[in-house]
Amino acid sequence: MHIQLKNVVKTYGRFKALDGANIDIAEGTKTALVGPNGSGKSTLIRVIMGLISCEGEVSLDGRSPYLRRSSTARETAYAPQSAPRTGATVDEIVKAVSAIREIERETVVAAAGRLDFDLNAVSSKPVRELSGGMKQKLMLALAFAAPARLLILDEPTASLDAESRGRFFEEFESITGSATVLLCSHRLEEVRRLVDRVIVLNAGRVAYDGPAADFIRDRSISLIEIHADDPDRFVSQGNGEWLNELGFHRGSKGVWTKSVDRAAKLDLLESLARRFDSNSVDVTARDVENYEQ
Ligand SMILES: Nc1ncnc2c1ncn2[C@@H]1O[C@H](COP(=O)(O)OP(=O)(O)OP(=O)(O)O)[C@@H](O)[C@H]1O
Ligand SMILES: [Mg+2]
């Protein structure tokens, strides 16, 4: 499915959750939608699915999703950020979504099983009584149950433990066919391997749009941390001043930090290694993606 947004604005009262978004996503591509909390990711997804109205133009294959909500729903597999707060039972939700998407209950049960979720065991429970992880698995099982032309997953791993995340990644990677995939997350480090393109939202605007590889190369930084066992002695040897000159920031007792481009990381680590004795000073380097910059 081909997604186009032209100058999309969504206001809540006076607040602009989307502030002139222009996006064009080709059929069959996988895109990560990232950005800090409140940047408009979920709002953008709701606009694309035609769940809410907006200003500007939104089209799926040239047609308005808002005016064709039922056919959009039939063609879209969607796992929302949080399960609907409903007294309906698991089975009632499965029935309702299966009817809209024209899929069999058994395929949902099988998809749940692949996420290590025994759907039959909880089928008569109200959805709101499920644990956070179970709710998320239910939403994901409904989304993964059958191929769709558009697959949208909003923060799909937020409530999953490490093992379930692993199962989710396996399931995601096994998606075949021509689905257009939108993966929404505030954790770029987790989704970057799964997509070809990254769109970053910041305050309702597109702050970056391009290939995932370029984004990671351009924006990646390393966080260098230095822990001194005996901070007073460490400082009295002139190390505090030396680190200050190198641009380190003194944090809690005995800890200095600095973020550097990954390219500059090795040079810096080398000069730290030359100066410090590894018995009294611990140096760690952690690669992170600073998409908020
Ligand atoms: N129904 C609503 N009424 C009023 N304001 C809203 C509504 N929905 C979203 N907002 C506001 O719009 C902004 C964007 O919200 P949105 O949920 O799209 O962010 P997000 O990028 O998905 O954040 P998160 O990472 O926390 O999921 C926020 O400031 C939010 O408070
Ligand atoms: Mg969100």
Name which of 22-26, 119-123, 139-143, 264-268 the model is least confident about.
Answer: 264-268
Same domain (yes/no): 54, 179: yes
The count of domains in the chain is: 2
Q: What confidence category does residue 291 fall into, taking pLDDT thresholds of 50, 70 and 90? A: low
CA of 40 to the centre of ligand 1 (A): 6
Most confident of 35-39, 207-211, 220-224, 288-292: 207-211
Residue ending a domain, choose from 203, 229, 246: 203
Claim to verify: residue 192 and residue 267 sit in the same structural domain = no
Answer yes or no: do 61 and 98 share one domain.
yes
Q: Work out the pLDDT band at 293, boundaries 50, 70, 90.
A: very low
Q: Is the CB of 186 under 6 A from ligand 1?
A: yes
Whether 240 lines ligand 1, by a CB cut-off of 6 Å, is: no
CATH number at residue 255: 3.30.70
Q: What mean pLDDT do residues 282-292 have? A: 73
C-beta 82 within 6 A of ligand 1:
no
Residue showing tokens 């997953």: 153
Residues 159 and 245 in one domain: no
Residue 261 included in any domain:
yes
Is the pLDDT reported for residue 229 higher than 60?
yes
Query: Order of strands, edge to edge, in the sheet holding 15-25?
Result: 15-25, 3-12, 55-60
Question: Which pLDDT does position 261 carry in this prediction?
Answer: 78
Residues 54 and 195 in one domain: yes
Query: Ligand 1 atom closest to Cα of 43?
Result: 18
Q: Quick check: 219 pLDDT over 70?
A: no
**Any idea which of 156-160, 202-206, 221-225 has the lowest mean pLDDT?**
221-225
* pLDDT of 129 strictly over 70: yes
Among 176, 203, 230, identify where a domain stops: 203
Residue 254 located in a structural domain: yes
Q: Would you say 182 and 31 are in contact if contact means Cβ atoms under 8 Å apart?
A: yes
Sheet of 220-228, strand order: 249-250, 255-261, 220-228, 281-289
Q: Give domain status of residue 214, yes or no.
A: no
The verdict on residue 166 lying in a domain is yes
- Ligand 1 atom at minimal distance to the Cα of residue 186: 25
- Same domain, yes or no: 148 and 67: yes
Probe target for ligand 1 pocket from 10, 11, 15, with the most ligand atoms within 8 Å of CB: 15
Residues 99 and 187 grouped into a single domain: yes
CATH code for the domain of 98: 3.40.50.300
Tens digit of each residue's pLDDT (9 = 90 or more) over 237-258 = 999 999 999 989 887 778 898 8
Q: Which range, of 16-20, 96-100, 188-192, 280-284, averages the lowest pLDDT?
A: 188-192
pLDDT level of residue 84 (50, 70, 90 thresholds): confident
Asked if 43 and 149 sit in the same domain, the reply is yes
Instruction: Tell me the mean pLDDT in the region 193-214.
Output: 88
Q: Is the pLDDT of residue 287 over 80?
A: no
Residues 160, 87 share a domain: yes
Residue 292 reports pLDDT greater than 60: no
Indicate if 257 and 195 belong to the same structural domain: no
Q: Encode pLDDT of 88-112 as tens digits.
A: 999 999 999 999 999 999 999 999 9
> What's phi and psi for 127, nearest 5 deg?
-55, -40
| Structural domain for 37, as ranges | 3-203
Query: From CA 115, how far away is CA 136, in angstroms rounded?
Result: 10
Share of the chain above pLDDT 70, in %: 96
The mean of the pLDDT values for the chain is 90
Helix and strand counts by DSSP (H, E) for the chain: 11, 13
CA 186, 191, 194 angle in degrees (round to 5)?
155
Alpha helices for 87-201 (secondary structure H): 90-101, 105-114, 132-144, 162-173, 188-191
Long-range contacts from 57-61, C-beta under 8 angstroms, 24+ separation: 57/4, 57/5, 57/6, 57/7, 57/8, 58/4, 58/5, 58/6, 58/8, 59/3, 59/4, 60/1, 60/2, 60/3, 60/150, 61/1, 61/2
Residue 208 lies in a domain: no
Mean predicted confidence (pLDDT) in 167-177: 87
Instruction: Report which of 106, 171, 176, 177 is spatially closest to residue 136, judged by C-alpha positions.
Output: 171
DSSP string of 198-225, one letter each residue: EEEEETTEEEEEEEHHHHHHHHEEEEEE
90/184 same-domain check: yes
226/179 same-domain check: no
